[in-house]
Amino acid sequence: MYIFTNMESATPGFNLVGGMINQHLTSKAKYDILIYLVTVGNYIERKMFMKPYQLFFHHYHKMYRPFVSKLNVHLAKHQLHSSQWSALVLLKNEGPLTIVEIASHQNVEKPTISRTVKRLVELGFVEQTPGKDKREKRIEITRLGEAVCTEIRETVEQFEVDALQGISEEEQIAVSRILATVYENLRK
């Protein structure tokens, strides 16, 4: 990180306009500009040395946690979090599934899905029904679960649209294809 003792040394060429800025800005404004220049300079410098694939995953990780955290805020109103929401939508779209099938779709371990399903059963959003085999139970969405799904879907759709502001549909489709390819590469 660069630390500057005065604004003139903050960026090359700053001396050309430094006199005008010094005459018209408060000390606080000068400090804010300095912090901005240092932050942007360090960000650009760091990114310049990243390879494209590193930058891709850097931005993916940087986006993922805030996305899930903000989604969970919306879902908390319905006593859900993102993994429970994901399982509920899966059951609504696919119909009754076993714990193993849900785990496979969600790419998580069976005990994780067992806890998720247990919570959804407690909320009355899903129910367990006997399967073909005595040991097998099928998980099925209830009418309450379907109603909650429909209600939450509007909120989630608006959240997703807001998160994608400024990104064209063509760009969204391109990124979706890229992420699908990365997913397939990881499954090999």
Give the model confidence (pLDDT) of 92-109 as tens digits: 999 999 999 999 999 999
| pLDDT at 72 > cutoff 90 | yes
Same domain for 79 and 171, yes or no, is yes
| pLDDT at 8 > cutoff 60 | no
What confidence tier does 163 reach under pLDDT thresholds 50, 70, 90?
very high
For the chain, where are the alpha helices, taking DSSP H only?
15-24, 27-48, 52-76, 82-94, 99-106, 110-122, 143-163, 169-187
Same domain for 118 and 154, yes or no, is yes
What confidence tier does 74 reach under pLDDT thresholds 50, 70, 90?
very high
- Positive or negative torsion for Cα 111, 117, 118, 120: positive
Taking a C-beta distance cutoff of 8 angstroms, is the pair 149, 92 a contact? Answer: yes
pLDDT at position 37 is 60
| pLDDT at 21 > cutoff 70 | no
* CA 102 to chain CA centroid, nearest Å: 21
Containing domain of residue 32, as a range? Answer: 7-48
| Higher pLDDT, residue 14 or 181 | 181
Lowest mean pLDDT among 53-57, 138-142, 181-185: 53-57
Same domain for 27 and 115, yes or no, is no
In a domain, residue 1? The reply is no
pLDDT at position 51 is 82
Q: Specify the residue for token string 């909650």.
A: 148
What confidence tier does 130 reach under pLDDT thresholds 50, 70, 90?
confident
How many Å apart are CA 167 and CA 172, to the nearest integer?
A: 7
CB atoms within 10 A of CB 153: 13
pLDDT at position 40 is 57
Same domain for 150 and 105, yes or no, is yes
